[in-house]
């Protein structure tokens, strides 16, 4: 395995620290004349500030920044000896009503201010700062699909090499990118829209009809690849890059949020046979990912989330948005929500649930899978805590028109369900933080390099780095 990015950063920081120390020593020991004494004092002060900054900035930590419609969550973690992550700092700050639109950043300066508040909390708790950052991205214009591509090799008797595999993957990514660009162009009525590859992963590979776990070294003519790719409009990515620049953060990766949640659920087992439907219910969107036998079949989003329930409650009760949100969050507490108000709220929630459930059905139909849908549904995100939402998925017959073999089992994902990530703080991490934990897992994947294992996702991970 080559030298990881974390090691490179450590070496760079060590060299920089040594240089600062050398300059600082020269400044402090030099005896300046009266005319230059003020300048010498200024240089000495700069040295002290730089030294303090380097001591406070940890080079072995990772920051996950979940910029949601309702809240920004900042989670700082440090890699432990077993290769997992220990969470050492957590921060959360509420977004303004106009900061986000359909899951995407709409007001960069306002989002920067909210991120600063969340970061400050996380840094205070951890006693350190972290510059290396992974940010999540969501929204209806994120296009994540699995394509099946058939590639006919000219020399079937020649073993397939990593170089040839890399070439095949590049062709698949280019083709998928053009399809995503066209889809986004049609939806935005902008034929010149630019897109960028965010995440990619191999779902399955077969050679001459024989499914294999690692194609390197195999002979054969017909290579069939199921390949997941996710693209986003460049304007969305640029907004995230601008936010990170304003916060002086080093952007390691941008991850499609449902893809990140899937990675969190898979954990360290790169050859997991986990299957399920992940629903990340945020404030502005519901993000859905389908995972089959450890491979992401696709990710899709629709623009109904927790805020739509709040608006429905506000309209029914004739109150403002903030009051309706407080009622919604306190619906389980009889002391805070009188019985008559609760009954009206439930009517409003059930009315909106019918619309939301239609969005779920339509979105799942769009996956166009050849096999049955997995019968396990994993819920996360701030909107997933609504009991009525969980009940409608678990008890009604909404699933009967979809390719389910039987009624799906609904499970609310908690941080304790995520393998390889440990919360060492006193703060409680619930289902609303699962997306941030997924972003930490994506960061760990990016930094760790490729483990020398025989599995498909281990051997080919380095070919998928973008």
Distance CA 274, CA 260 (A): 15
What pLDDT does 342 receive? 87
pLDDT at site 16: 46
Instruction: Give the bridge partners for 74, in sequence order.
Output: 65, 91
157's enclosing H/E stretch is: none
* Tens digit of each residue's pLDDT (9 = 90 or more) over 336-375: 888 888 889 999 999 999 999 999 999 999 887 777 899 9
pTM: 0.76
**If DSSP codes are grouped into helix, strand and coil, which group holds residue 297?**
strand
Q: Which two tokens stand for residue 330?
A: 């306190």
DSSP summary character for residue 357: H
Domain layout of the chain by residue ranges: 5-56
SS3 category, 283: coil
3-state SS, residue 119 = helix
CB 134 within 8 A of CB 440: yes
Measured CA to CA, the distance from residue 184 to residue 180 in angstroms comes to 6
pLDDT given at position 170: 83
Quick one: pLDDT at residue 455? Answer: 43
* Pair 422, 83: CB distance under 8 Å: no
**pLDDT, one tens digit for every residue, the chain (466 residues):** 333 444 444 544 454 445 545 555 554 455 555 555 665 566 556 555 554 444 445 568 999 999 998 899 999 999 888 878 999 999 999 999 889 987 889 999 999 999 999 999 999 999 998 899 999 988 778 888 777 778 888 888 889 888 888 888 888 788 888 888 888 888 878 888 888 888 877 777 889 888 887 788 888 888 888 778 888 888 889 999 999 999 999 998 888 888 888 888 877 665 567 889 999 998 888 999 888 877 788 888 888 998 899 999 999 999 998 899 888 888 877 778 888 888 899 999 999 999 999 999 999 998 877 778 999 999 999 889 888 999 999 999 999 999 999 999 999 988 888 888 999 999 988 999 999 999 998 888 777 653 334 444 444 444 444 4
- The burial of 35, by beta-carbon neighbours within 10 Å (0-12 exposed, 13-18 middle, 19 or more buried), is given as exposed
Question: Residue 70 gets which letter from DSSP?
Answer: S
d(CA 122, CA 117): 9
The phi, psi pair for 204, rounded to 5°, reads -160, 160
Distance (Å, whole) CA 176 – CA 171: 9
For residue 436, what pLDDT is reported? Answer: 93
Q: What are phi and psi of 456, to 5 degrees?
A: -60, -50
392 alpha-carbon distance from chain centroid: 26
Q: What is the pLDDT at residue 399?
A: 94
């Amino acid at each position: 395995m080559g030298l990881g990015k974390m090691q490179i950063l450590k070496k760079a920081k060590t060299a920089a620290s040594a240089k600062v120390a050398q300059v600082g020593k020269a400044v402090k020991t030099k005896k300046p004349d009266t005319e230059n004494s003020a300048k010498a004092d200024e240089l000495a002060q700069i040295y002290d500030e730089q030294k303090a900054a380097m001591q406070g900035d940890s080079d072995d930590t990772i920051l996950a920044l979940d910029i949601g419609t309702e809240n920004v969550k900042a989670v700082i973690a440090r890699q432990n000896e077993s290769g997992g992550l220990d969470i050492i700092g957590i921060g959360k700050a509420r977004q303004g009503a106009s900061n986000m639109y359909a899951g995407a950043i709409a007001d960069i300066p306002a989002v920067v201010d909210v991120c600063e508040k969340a970061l400050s909390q996380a840094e205070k708790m951890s006693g350190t700062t972290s510059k290396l950052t992974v940010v999540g991205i969501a929204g209806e214009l994120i296009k994540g699909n699995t394509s099946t591509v058939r590639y006919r090799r000219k020399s079937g008797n020649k073993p397939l090499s990593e170089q040839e595999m890399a070439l095949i993957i590049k062709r698949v990514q280019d083709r998928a990118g053009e399809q995503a660009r066209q889809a986004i162009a049609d939806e935005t009525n902008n034929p010149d829209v630019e897109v960028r590859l965010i995440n990619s992963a191999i779902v399955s590979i077969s050679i001459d009809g024989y499914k294999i776990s690692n194609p390197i070294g195999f002979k054969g003519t017909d290579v069939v690849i199921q390949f997941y790719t996710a693209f986003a409009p460049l304007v969305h990515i640029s907004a995230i890059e601008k936010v990170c620049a304003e916060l002086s953060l080093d952007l390691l990766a941008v991850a499609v949020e449902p893809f990140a949640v899937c990675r969190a659920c898979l954990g360290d087992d790169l050859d997991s046979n986990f299957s399920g439907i992940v629903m990340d219910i945020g404030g502005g969107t519901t993000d859905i990912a389908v995972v089959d036998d450890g491979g992401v079949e696709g990710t899709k989003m629709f623009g109904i989330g927790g805020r739509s329930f709040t608006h429905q409650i506000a309209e029914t009760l004739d109150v403002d948005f903030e009051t309706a949100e407080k009622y919604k969050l306190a619906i389980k507490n009889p002391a805070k929500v009188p019985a008559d108000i609760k009954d009206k709220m439930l009517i409003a929630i059930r009315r909106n649930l019918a619309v939301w459930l239609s969005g779920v059905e339509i979105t799942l139909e769009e996956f166009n899978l050849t096999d049955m849908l997995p019968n396990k549904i994993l819920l996360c995100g701030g909107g997933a805590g609504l009991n009525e939402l969980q009940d409608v998925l678990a008890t009604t017959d909404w699933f009967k028109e979809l390719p389910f073999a039987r009624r799906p089992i609904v499970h609310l994902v908690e941080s304790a369900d995520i393998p390889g990530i440990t919360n060492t703080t006193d703060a409680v991490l619930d289902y609303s933080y699962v997306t941030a934990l997924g972003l930490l897992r994506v960061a760990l994947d990016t930094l760790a390099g490729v483990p020398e294992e025989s599995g498909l996702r281990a051997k080919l991970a380095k070919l998928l780095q973008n």
